[in-house]
Amino acid sequence: MIREVAARPFGDQRPGTSGLRKKVRVFQQPHYLETFVQAIFNAEPALAGATLVLGGDGRYYNRPAIQTILRLAAANGVARVLLGQGGILSTPAASCLIRKHGAAGGIVLSASHNPGGPQADFGVKYNVANGGPAPESVTEAIFAAACRLDTYRTLDAPDIDLERTGEQRVGEMAVQVVDPVADYAALLEQLFDFDRIGELLRGRFRMRFDAMHAVNGPYAVEILERRLGAPDGTVVRGDSREDFGGAHPDPNLVHARVLVDELAQADGPDFGAATDGDGDRNMSLGRRFFVTPSDSLAVLAANAQRLPGYRDGLAGVARSMPTSAALDRVAEALDLPCYETPTGWKYFGSLLDAGRITLCGEESFGTGSNHVREKDGLWAVLAWLNLLAVTDQSVAELVRAHWARFGRTFYTRHDYEGIDADLAGELFDALRGRLPTLVGHRAGRLEIEQAEEFAYTDPVNGARSERQGIVLRLAGGGRIVYRLSGTGTEGATVRVYVEDHEPDPTRHGADPQTALADLLGLAVALPDLHRHTGRSGPTLVT
């Protein structure tokens, strides 16, 4: 029986650019999850009578949330749900299923790289029919619907068996429980030379993949160890856990420290990689060699035609604004269109759909292509393995050859996490007010040539996005960027990005913090960062 139940007013709890992310305890409030999901159905009437993809990263509250959403979907007339077995679907795999099966959309349960567990984070994100994150027009419609909702529709029905593959029913709605890996792995096999990668992994080459007790454990074991023949144990922390083993599932130099230390050894593996909570972010390492996400994107773009799925060349490339301009130099040399977008994968969607770009990426460890409409951690790892297999070079040799050809862009990001939101807002308001006076500002050898707040007009659909970060461009090509991040659930994160290009990479040492010391000093001093944040330094450096 379908019931109408009083909804929970949403107030000012606006979803962020990556969907709705809150503490588990917030989602466990009576009617909270139901109100938001009903708002999705109200804002997207095309879901009625259509197929919906559903799954998540396996974090705490994933299973009960899925049962709740199935009952709402049935009550709102969804004809069919494709559900990952055990409630599991990585974010790129969800995008793959939406596109392959012609679904009208998908609901992905994840808080990405944020911690999991009863006291930690949960999230709900809606992906549209192209497989990508909902654009701002849709997220605004969902928020508006949540604010004016009086009731939600649900069905009195028992829970389904999340482990049993095949068809089950919730009322009149069919629920197809599917292998979460199969379609996604088949897609990757079309893009990469699995024979060459398999030869590499079965030989003397050694790699380590850290799944961080997150969603990509089953995917990595199936693809790397079973299909490609990597030795058992290549994948570590491969069992998915609701609390990610009590760790922070963010693949960076801090939270993947065990992997980083292993690769730092003289006799360590040849290649290391890690992916995040929902499987869309990645970090790649060589022995004693860290590849920045910006360099990773640039190297993959420069060598894309070595990969079977991209041998015909690239239509164009794109990067988020805070990502270093290393990609731009590849695009210029290869005569490729290059686009600069705001942070958020949804901004790449229209460019991908229009065929204007083939590869894209963000500095926050996200890289992908037109095969899906999400960043894709395992895709990036396999792209690196394919390049290593066909070039017979190490990671360090491949990147240094890239620098020799295109020059090196020294780059770093400093995060100030958990800042009081009002203090963070005051910092940006003060900096925003000073922009006209900063042009011509000098500090030693450094001079600011341009100071602006980044705004973006989508070249395909004309959509406008304002206040996407403050950018200071320096004489000689250096750049400082300040941005407020919306990926956390407590306080605000102030991100500071600093880069400088060196045509001759031999002129500086290997450490970006040393090479960028003057620029970092200026980046802290200009907004009086430590006073505004109440911190003596960043909480995370990458």
pLDDT tens digits in sequence order for the chain, 542 residues long? 788 888 887 765 555 556 899 999 999 999 999 999 999 999 999 999 999 999 999 999 999 999 999 999 999 999 999 999 999 999 999 999 999 999 999 999 999 889 999 999 999 999 999 999 999 899 999 999 999 999 999 999 999 999 999 999 999 999 999 999 999 999 999 999 999 999 999 999 999 999 999 999 999 999 999 999 999 999 999 999 999 999 999 998 889 999 999 999 999 999 999 999 999 999 999 999 999 999 999 999 999 999 999 999 999 999 999 999 999 999 999 999 999 999 999 999 999 999 999 999 999 899 999 999 999 999 999 999 999 999 999 999 999 999 999 999 999 999 998 898 888 888 999 999 999 999 999 988 899 999 999 999 999 999 999 999 999 999 988 999 999 986 555 678 999 999 999 888 777 677 889 989 999 999 999 998 888 888 888 988 88
CB 6 within 8 A of CB 109: no
- Catalytic one of 90, 110, 112, 240: 112
**Residue 112 among the catalytic residues:** yes
**Which residues touch 484 (CB under 8 Å, ≥6 apart)?**
424, 428, 492, 493, 494, 495
Q: Given the DSSP bridges, would you call strands 173-178 and 80-88 parallel, antiparallel or unpaired?
A: parallel
**C-alpha to C-alpha distance for 373 and 54, rounded to whole angstroms:** 16
CA separation, residue 174 to residues 37, 97, 180, 341 (Å) = 19, 16, 17, 39
CB 494 within 8 A of CB 424: yes
CB 86 within 8 A of CB 242: no
CA torsion through residues 41, 43, 49, 55, sign: negative
Neighbours of 482 (CB within 10 A): 22
**C-alpha to C-alpha distance for 495 and 497, rounded to whole angstroms:** 7
Overall size of the chain counted in residues: 542
Burial of 190 (0-12, 13-18, 19+ CB in 10 A): exposed
CB 338 within 8 A of CB 308: no
Q: Measure the CA angle with vertex 284, ends 357 and 505; round to 5°.
A: 80
Burial of 196 (0-12, 13-18, 19+ CB in 10 A): middle
Q: Given the DSSP bridges, would you call strands 282-286 and 289-290 parallel, antiparallel or unpaired?
A: antiparallel
Q: What is the distance of C-alpha 375 from the center of its chain?
A: 5
**C-alpha to C-alpha distance for 182 and 160, rounded to whole angstroms:** 22
Q: Which amino acid is at 25?
A: R
Q: Which amino acid is at 236?
A: V
Q: Which amino acid is at 187?
A: L
Residue among 492, 374, 403, 424 at smallest CA distance from 92: 374
**C-alpha to C-alpha distance for 420 and 408, rounded to whole angstroms:** 36
Q: Measure the CA angle with vertex 277, ends 143 and 50; round to 5°.
A: 50
**C-alpha to C-alpha distance for 178 and 96, rounded to whole angstroms:** 13
Side-chain-side CA neighbours of residue 160 (13 Å): 30
**C-alpha to C-alpha distance for 502 and 490, rounded to whole angstroms:** 38
Q: Which amino acid is at 160?
A: I
Query: Tokens representing 431?
Result: 């900096």
pTM: 0.94
